[in-house]
Amino acid sequence: MSASKKLFHGVAPVALTLAIACALGACKKDDAAATGPAAPQAAAKPTPESVVSASVASMGADQLREAAGKAYNENRLYAPAGNNAMEYYLALRDKVPGDAGASSALNDLLPMAVVAAEQGVTRQDYAEANRLLALIGKADANHPALARLKASVASNEAKAQKEAETQKLTAEEEAKKQADLAKKREEDQKKLQEQQKQQTAAQEQQRQQQAAAEAERQKQAAAAAEAERQKQAAAAAEKPTQAAAPSAAPAARPSAASNELRPISTPSPRFPPAAQRAGGTGSVQVEFTVGTDGSVSSARVVSSDTPRQFQRDFEREALAAVKRWRFQPVGQATTSRRTISFE
């Protein structure tokens, strides 16, 4: 056999092997191109046990109070995930079960979270709706709207999945859809916050009107009592001097003692809700004047030792409480000072 034939017989098997390997590789590439990348697995739905992020759960009680108050004031009521007032208050309640501020704030936030979940279903934002359902379930597992919302989300989500199977979105369209959902979600949250502020303002206006009406009633009652006192004093002056003389001496001692303030009713002030949620405390010194009928005719703040952002709230509640105080009638108007603590 010639040298060229030997070379051919030696190279041919190698070339054949390489050709088969290339063909198999090309087939695998074609299969991979046809199949495409594996679809990512759907993220697990949040549960009441997992909805509070690990970073939030690891914070201390004081950190949670501060972060919750800041998030509430900045309109991050229940979103975004991991940085919202509702998660902070839920984590705070887990750490300090008896915290009144956290419980009060969650009661205020629950109705807004329910509305937000319903809005999420309407705009087909089912991931957000499921996260809100988990927040609601953790805040109150027996909330009356929870079962209805779960059924609504499940039904609409299943319907949307069927529609998605018949109409595949491109990556660009999906990104735009998610951006639109995030924008709409933020707008809905701002609207809820504004509605809450308007409702709070209306309640405050009603309270002020009631306080003004009560103050006017007290003023009229004090005027009537003073008129009656003057009438009785005038009638006593008309009696014969000799009859009044024997009783003048013994009457002097009770008169002096009658100016001593003896409380009948001193209701405590209402703790400002915003300060209570933020854990704020303090004290306010009030000077007030008690009329002869025992009602407080005027009151003013002398000094206050409270956080600056809640100073007006504390002073307002302290004055409102003092104006409702009642004492035993006194011989003449008496001015006094008291320090009211908010703990």
pTM greater than 0.85 = no
Give the pLDDT band of residue 197 (cuts 50, 70, 90).
confident
Q: Give 15-42 pLDDT, tens digit per residue.
A: 444 343 434 444 344 443 434 444 445 6
Q: What is the pLDDT of residue 239?
A: 57
Mean pLDDT across the chain: 83
By the 8 A CB rule, do 115 and 227 touch?
no
Distance CA 316, CA 304 (A): 11
H-type alpha helices, the chain: 3-35, 54-57, 61-73, 85-95, 100-122, 126-139, 146-166, 171-237, 241-257, 273-278, 311-322
Q: Delimit the CATH 3.30.2420.10 region(s) of the chain.
A: 260-343
Q: Give 126-177 pLDDT, tens digit per residue.
A: 999 999 999 999 999 999 999 999 999 999 989 988 888 878 768 788 889 8
| Tokens, residue 194 | 């504004």
Distance CA 94, CA 57 (A): 9
Q: Give 255-265 pLDDT, tens digit per residue.
A: 444 678 999 99
260-343 maps to which CATH number?
3.30.2420.10
Distance CA 79, CA 96 (A): 23
- Mean pLDDT in residue range 260-289: 94
Q: Give 62-94 pLDDT, tens digit per residue.
A: 999 999 999 999 999 999 999 999 999 999 999
By the 8 A CB rule, do 124 and 155 touch?
no
Residue 61 pLDDT > 90? yes
Which is higher by pLDDT, 5 or 301?
301
- In this structure, the strands spanning 282-290 and 296-305 are antiparallel
Task: Give the three-state DSSP class for 82.
Answer: coil
Distance CA 319, CA 179 (A): 49
Cβ partners under 8 Å of residue 276, min gap 6: 100, 101, 104
Distance CA 334, CA 290 (A): 5
